Structure 1
Amino acid sequence: MRIPFDNSYARLPDRFHARLPPTPVKAPKLIRVNEALARDLGLDPAALAAPEGVEVLAGNRVPEGAEPIAQAYAGHQFGGFVPQLGDGRAILLGEVVTRDGRRRDIQLKGSGPTPFSRRGDGRAALGPVLREYVVSEAMHALGIPTTRALAAVTTGEYVFREDALPGAVLTRVAASHIRVGTFQFFAARQDVDGVRILADHVIERHHKAARDAENPYRALLEAVVAAQAELVARWMLVGFIHGVMNTDNMTVSGETIDFGPCAFMDAFHPMQVYSSIDHGGRYAFGNQPRIAMWNLTRLAETLLPLLAEDQDAAIAEAQEVLAGFAPRFEAAWQSGLARKIGLAAPREGDVALIEDLMQRMADNEADFTLTFRRLADAALSPRAEKDVRALFRDPAAFDAWTPGWRARLADDPDTPEARRAMMREASPAFIPRNHQVERVIKAAVENDDYAPFEALLGVLSRPFDDQPEAADYALPPQPQERVLATFCGT
């Protein structure tokens, strides 16, 4: 098996990472290879699934050209700064450049202890590995920038959390694993040269247009702010709650990373929280834009020495850039919501119409995904309104909203058919609902049964198609199926 590595991050100075191989496991066994992604990376899926490939995916064999490293980074975790975190259970094997010139990391997650493990075992349990595989691939199918899952293997060993759990390793692919916390690692050490080396690397790798700017480091900050504003808006438009938006979980590439206690909302509420460790609701659904801005401010602080020689001038530069986050987020969020209710040409008053609907949804525990999906059919035919109103605890709340909506649609230029198509493209029929993900994990962990995992992946690969044969996957949970808390894999 050949992987054409070209490892730019490993060529950075030694203080950026620790060099060490993955820790071998007892009896690796393949769960799945993502064949389409493998081909995109220029890899042979059959070779990955062969015994030698499985050895690589488990960390038992280091392939030729790999330069395994654990990356150093810091981070604010729930607002508290930790000056050294780093890859405590992950090894970056190396990077590949795809046929279209995109550079991608290949990382093993759950590959054993590193110098950054902080007394942890460096391993991953099967449940969190399957969860990340399902959710990250669902995010990709939804069109949201994300890390992806190339493969998953079991290890033949147990990891110990509250109970003994089967172990697994996820092979994760990303544009890079560079985080806001990576910049914080060097800034906390007053290593301005390290910050500059990292910033130059990020510009070259992710934001090449910044090279030609009058102030490349300001342009870098602008690019990251723009990418994160768009990303968080896209999350929220499909009801996604990250759950652990620490600065070490925010990438400078603008990809979603870390699918531990994340969740997709069933019943809508702006302050919905699922994460079992988010006791104060810091990372609730509606708080995500504010937290993104907070994290970006921490990034800006690390770049101050590069923005200008005079600190006051540097702060002014940073503040000007950060001020662009809110309008960019709001534009993406409001235009996305306008499409979800069928408005192709937004105008004054639309925000109030949308906010009225969402308040009624929150008051009546209406399902976020199904409300918007069924609204597309109602836009085409008033007869379909009954399917939307059935989602509201008090259907009269929806009935009171529809006359204003109908009047507004009458002023929009789209035909009913075009409007419905636009709405369906903005509102998926299928998301990885929490109870379905838990069902997949339970079948695998308790019965070594991966058929539910494969079935769910198949449905989620086409989230905007109706798929009548999979209609049950679109339904919200029954009361006894509701998942009230999601958990971090550590």
Structure 2
Amino acid sequence: MTLRLPFDNSYARLPERFFVRQPPVPVAAPRLLALNRPLAEELGLDADALASEEGVAALAGNAVPDGAEPLAQAYAGHQFGGWVPRLGDGRAILLGEVVDRHGRRRDIQLKGAGRTPFSRMGDGRAWLGPVLREFVVSEAMAALGIPTTRALAALATGETVRRERALPGAILVRVAASHIRVGTFQFFAARGDEEALRLLCEHAIARHHPQAEGPMGLLRATVAAQARLVADWMAVGFVHGVMNTDNTAISGETIDYGPCAFLDAYHPDAVFSSIDAWGRYAYGRQPGIAAWNLAQFASALLPLMGGEAAIPEATEAVQGFAPLFEAEWNRRFAAKIGLPEDSPQARPLAVRLLDLMAAAGADFTLTFRALSEEAPVPEALAALPEWGDWHAAWTAQDPDRARMRAANPAIIPRNHRIEAMIAAAEAGDLAPLETLRAALSRPFDPDPAHDPLRAPPREEERVLRTFCGT
């Protein structure tokens, strides 16, 4: 069986200073752990060929398929607010791009593919836990209808990587609309490379926002895309955990599932990332951080927009994030409580509900789903003296529960289930991985057989910290 990947590599046709050409570093004993056959079909790829010995070698980086032009992309970024002028793909290799069955251009990238000139002190590898977390969570996000990078395959490498302890190595095959980030623009802006900025701007417009007119149009389109994306995150209780500018994709996709998590008990200050000591990227701070990141994008684009003279218009474009986000949030949360988005009661009722949920520590997903299903809400919420008044005011609006069930998932990738799946996989048991994949593929209408996966964690199962894996 012959592996065929129909590459058409537009990013590799940009000037050499955009990247470093480098093949993946081969691994000792590649083994396929999970293959996303529906995504392979969508990409126009032969899933059986990908699962063959030849395909596994290509997905692990042990063989470079015909037409691939492997490279590590250059970028910079603000990490937790601190400027880092040179980041880049330190453990990822972009194999190339394919045009899928819908005419969309998609990157195919190997994450954990070995050291590159951007690795700094890193080993260029990934371990099994973060690879499987990103596989499961990114595909769950896709099933929820949220723009995201996708996971084509996860592979064991047959090698050991060192973190706090020796861990099994793995590679994720990631698919994205592109890997162009705010930090990619910052890389060239910081170097005063206006020609590269112009080429990158033209490339990003053609690829992601063809309706945009020039750099100001690209800024406005990216602001709108990020407003929609962050509203999506808020509506499902998702905490990204590492919203650095190098993790802000121009495409408007969710990228980098390192220390991410979904809320169990709701609180706007919820933080899970082990490296977010000050709560910069807490759940409730995500909209403000998105706006901050977009301001850095505007700053990087200024040389193309006329310099200082363009600051007022660029500022106005970035300030447009707040009303765009508010409109998107209102639309999603009106649906979550079953009211028309133009209802004057929708926002006040949604905000008040969240306040009550925070006071009670009520489970985010279960509360909204219970209201959708006319089932009992969490006991701590129902016990609040104010609950009866809220519930009476809400039911008086005649909520549309069918609409609610379409907006409120019954099942999410709960943190403790992810951790249990990873522990099982480390022990050689992939059954929990497959069960999670199946359950999360139908988040709004789950198989009753998967009902146990809907339950929140017991006290001893709670996951308080998540880790990025580098």
* Separation of aligned partners in 1, 2:151 and 2:207: 21
Please, which of 322, 326, 342 is the counterpart of residue 338 of structure 2? 342
> Is 1:458 aligned to 2:438, yes or no?
yes
Counterpart position of 2:421: 440
SS of corresponding position for 2:93: strand
**Matching of residue 249 in structure 1 with residue 251 in structure 2:** no
Q: Work out the CA distance in 2 between the residues paired with 1:250 and 1:422.
A: 31
Shift of 1:392: 2.2
Aligned to 1:412: none
Per-residue deviation at 1:395?
4.6
- SS of 1:5's equivalent? coil
Hey, what does 2:392 align to over in structure 1?
A: 403
Using a 3 Å threshold, how does the CA distance of structure 1 residues 33 and 348 change in structure 2: closer, same or farther? same
Distance 1:422 1:376 in 2: 8
> Which residue number corresponds to residue 14 of structure 1?
16
Matched, 1:329 2:325: yes
Is residue 2:247 matched to residue 1:266? no
Corresponding residue number in structure 1 for 2:127? 125
Per the alignment, residue 284 of structure 1 pairs with 282
Q: CA deviation at 1:389?
A: 4.7
Whole-Å separation in 1 of the counterparts to 2:361 and 2:341: 29
1:314 paired with 2:310, answer yes
The match for 1:152 is 154
In structure 1, C-alpha distance between the alignment counterparts of 2:113 and 2:12, rounded to whole Å: 18
- 1:390 — aligned with what? 379
Partner residue, 1:41: 43
Q: Secondary structure at the match of 2:289?
A: helix
2:83 aligns to what SS in structure 1? strand
1:446-473 Cα offsets, whole Å, 9 max, x none, are: x110000000010000000142211111
The verdict on how the C-alpha distance between 1:79 and 1:5 changes in structure 2, with shifts beyond 3 A counting, is: same
Q: Give, in angstroms, the shift of residue 312 of structure 1.
A: 3.4
Q: How much has 1:345 moved relative to structure 2?
A: 4.5
State whether residues 366 and 378 of structure 2, in contact with CA within 8 Å, keep that contact through their aligned partners in structure 1: no
Contact 1:68 1:94 (8 Å CA) reproduced: yes
Distance in 2 separating the partners of 1:458 and 1:423: 23
Give the CA deviation at 1:33.
1.0
Query: 5 Å matches for 1:159-178?
Result: 159-178=161-180
Backbone CA RMSD of aligned residues:
1.1
TM-score (norm 2): 0.98
Is 1:116 aligned to residue 109 of structure 2? no
Query: Structure 1 counterpart of 2:401, which letter?
Result: R
* Cα separation, partners in 2 of 1:396 and 1:468, compared to 1, 3 Å: farther
For 1:208, the equivalent position in structure 2 comes to 210
Q: Which residue of 1 aligns with 2:237?
A: 239
How many pairs were matched up? Answer: 468
Shift of 1:400: 3.0
Q: Deviations over 1:195-215 (max 9, x none)?
A: 1110000011111112xx3xx
> Does the 8 A contact of 1:243 with 1:274 survive in 2?
yes
The answer on whether the counterparts of 2:439 and 2:446 sit within 8 Å (CA) in structure 1 is no
Q: Is the 8 A contact 2:264 2:364 kept in 1?
A: yes
Match of 1:305 in 2: 303
Residue 381 of structure 1 corresponds to none
Which residue, 388, 395, 405 being the options, matches 1:424? 405
Q: TM (normalized to structure 1)?
A: 0.94
Q: Distance in 1 between matches of 2:346 and 2:420?
A: 39
Q: Which amino acid aligns with 2:189?
A: A
**Unpaired stretches in structure 2, ≥5 consecutive residues:** none
Which residue identity is paired with 2:63? Answer: R
What amino acid is aligned across from residue 375 of structure 1 in structure 2?
Answer: L
- 1:307–1:317 CA contact under 8 A, matched in 2: no
Query: Counterpart in 2 of 1:139?
Result: 141
Alignment of 1:479-490 (within 5 A): 479-490=459-470
When residues 277 and 393 of structure 1 are mapped into structure 2, their CA distance, relative to the original with a 3 A threshold, is farther
Deviation string 1:105-124 (CA, Å, 9 cap, x unpaired) is 00000000000000211000
CA deviation after TM superposition for structure 1 residue 394, in Å: 2.8
Give 1:355's aligned residue: 351
Partner Cα separation in structure 2 for residue 398 and residue 6 of structure 1: 57
Cα offset, 1:44, TM superposition: 0.3
SS at match of 1:337: helix
Q: Do the aligned partners of residues 267 and 358 (structure 1) sit closer, same or farther apart at CA in structure 2, a change above 3 Å counting? A: same
Residues 345 and 169 of structure 1: CA distance in aligned 2, closer, same or farther (over 3 Å): closer
Residues 249-298 of structure 1: CA deviation (Å, up to 9, x unaligned): 00000000000000000000011000011010000000000000000000
Moved more, 447-456 or 339-348: 339-348
Deviation at residue 234 of structure 1 after TM alignment: 0.3
- Do the aligned residues in 2 keep the contact of 1:371 with 1:391 (CA within 8 Å)? no
Q: Counterpart in 1 of 2:76? A: 74
Q: CA separation in 2, counterparts of 1:489 and 1:12?
A: 31
Task: List per-residue Cα deviations over 1:290-333 (Å, max 9, x = no partner).
Answer: 0000000000001111112xx33210120121121001100010
Cα deviation, residue 14, structure 1 = 0.5
Instruction: Determine if contact 1:389/1:395 at 8 Å carries over to the other structure.
Output: no
How many Å apart are 1:355 and its aligned residue?
1.3
Structure 1 position 357, deviation (Å): 1.0
Deviation at 1:393, TM superposition (A): 7.1
Could you tell me how far 1:344 is from its partner in structure 2?
Answer: 2.0
Contact 2:107–2:175 (8 Å) recurs in 1: yes
